[in-house]
Amino acid sequence: MLILDSVHTYYGHIHALKGISLTVNQGEIVTLIGSNGAGKTTTLNTISGVLPARAGAIYLQENARSQGPAPPGRDYGSDIRLDRLHAHQVARLGVSQSPEGRKIFARLSVQENLAMGAFARADADGIRQDLERVFQLFPRLQERLSQPGGTLSGGEQQMLAIGRALMSRPRILLLDEPSMGLAPILVQQIFQIIREINDQGMTILLVEQNAQAALHIANRGYVLETGNIVLSGNAQELLANPQVAEAYLGI
C-alpha cells in the first residue's frame, strides 16, 4: 500500500535519511524501530509531506485492496507519488499521522480535538460511526468529552491523539512512539489497542523505541540506524535476531 524507494531527507546540510526503502502492505502492522535520533520521526514526516524528500520516491497504491506491492524495479504506474504533494493533500489521500509527543490541542475539549481529526469530511453519518468506534476503543475519552485536552493524563492524551488520527478514516495510520512517556501498564494497554485497531482492518506503520513491544504486535519490522535501514524481516525473526536483542531489547 505504501512504498518508500530510496528516500533522502535533509535538514539544511544534515543528511537525516540516507536512502530509506520500505513497504507496508494492506492490513499489516509494520514497525520501524531505532534509537533516539535514528530518523524515525523524519521518516514519518517525510511520508506525510511535512518534510520534503530531496531524492527518492514515495508511492501510495491506489488499489491496495486488490494489488500486492510491485516487485523491486517494476514500474509503479498509476500509483500516487506522495513525495510531490503537500501535507494536506497527503492527508486527504488517507494517510493519517499521530505525531510524537501527542500534540493534541491543549485548550480544545476532547470532543473538539476529535472533530479536528474529521475536519476534511462532510459525511455526518460516517463521522458519527467513527466517533462511536473511537469511544469503543477508548471509553475514557467518552467520559471526558468536555475536558480540555491539556488537562488529560499522558495516557489519555495518547488515546486522544490516536483517536483524532482515526477520525479522518485513514487508509493507513502512522503512529509515532505511542508508548513514549507512559507507565508500563499503559504501554501494554496502548499496544493492545493498536492491535485491535489493526484487527479491525487498519494498516499501520508504527514507529517505536520500545522495540520489544512493537515487534510483539507487528507483522514485519525495519531497524533504522542514523538514517539507514540496517535490518529488516518478519517480527518473529527480528525478535530472535541476536543483533537486535543486544542493541534494542536490552538482552
Ligand X SMILES: Nc1ncnc2c1ncn2[C@@H]1O[C@H](COP(=O)(O)OP(=O)(O)O)[C@@H](O)[C@H]1O
Binding stretches for ligand X (CB under 6 A)? 11, 14, 16, 34, 36-42
- Residue 221: CB minimum distance to ligand X, A: 14
Choice between 34 and 178, CB closer to ligand X: 34
Kindly give, in sequence order, each residue whose CB lies less than 8 Å from that of residue 20, ignoring residues fewer than 6 positions away. Answer: 4, 6, 7, 8, 39, 43, 56, 224, 227, 228, 229
Contact 173, 47 (CB under 8 A): no
Interior angle at CA 40, CA 11 and CA 2, nearest 5: 105
62 part of the interface to Mg ion, by CB under 5 A: no
100 part of the interface to Mg ion, by CB under 5 A: yes
The Cβ of residue 230 has, within 10 Å, a number of other Cβ atoms equal to 14
- Residue 52: CB minimum distance to ligand X, A: 13
Cα–Cα distance for residue pair 174/25, rounded to 1 Å: 13
Residue 13's closest CA among 54, 48, 50?
Answer: 54
Kindly give, in sequence order, each residue whose CB lies less than 8 Å from that of residue 144, ignoring residues fewer than 6 positions away. Answer: 110, 152, 156
- Residue 8: CB minimum distance to ligand X, A: 12
78 binding partner (options ligand X, Mg ion, none; Cβ < 5 to 8 Å by kind): none
237 part of the interface to Mg ion, by CB under 5 A: no
Choice between 39 and 149, CB closer to ligand X: 39
Choice between 38 and 134, CB closer to ligand X: 38
41 part of the interface to Mg ion, by CB under 5 A: yes
Helix 154-166 crosses helix 110-117 at what angle (to 10 degrees)?
Answer: 30
Of 14-22, 37-45, 61-69, 122-130, the window that binds Mg ion (rule: CB under 5 A) is 37-45
Kindly give, in sequence order, each residue whose CB lies less than 8 Å from that of residue 38, ignoring residues fewer than 6 positions away. Answer: 224, 225, 226, 227
DSSP state of 37: T
- Residue 34: CB minimum distance to Mg ion, A: 9
Choice between 16 and 47, CB closer to ligand X: 16
DSSP state of 71: P
16 binding partner (options ligand X, Mg ion, none; Cβ < 5 to 8 Å by kind): ligand X
11 binding partner (options Mg ion, ligand X, none; Cβ < 5 to 8 Å by kind): ligand X
Choice between 34 and 49, CB closer to ligand X: 34
122 binding partner (options ligand X, Mg ion, none; Cβ < 5 to 8 Å by kind): none
Of 43-51, 98-106, 137-145, 194-202, the window that binds Mg ion (rule: CB under 5 A) is 98-106
Cα–Cα distance for residue pair 159/87, rounded to 1 Å: 23
179 part of the interface to Mg ion, by CB under 5 A: no
Contact 215, 235 (CB under 8 A): yes
Instruction: Catalog residues that contact Mg ion under the rule CB under 5 A.
Output: 40-41, 100
